Amino acid sequence: MKRSWMWILLALLCHPFLNAQPITKSNAEKMLTAAKMAEEQNDYYNALEQYEEYYKEKGDRDIKIAYKAAQLHLQLRDYARAERWYKRIVRRRNSKKFKNPYMPEARYNFARILKMNAKYDEAIEQLQLYISEAEDLNKITLAKVELTGAEMAREMDPVVGIEILNAG
Task: Give residue-wise pLDDT tens across range 43-84.
Answer: 999 999 999 999 988 876 788 999 999 999 999 999 999 999
d(CA 103, CA 95): 13
Question: pTM here?
Answer: 0.76
Cα dist. 41→30, 33, 38, 72 in Å? Answer: 16, 12, 5, 14
**Residue 127 carries which side chain, given as an amino acid letter?**
L
Task: Give residue-wise pLDDT tens across range 7-36.
Answer: 676 666 666 665 555 555 558 788 889 989
Compute how many other C-beta atoms are within 10 angstroms of the C-beta atom of residue 23. Answer: 6
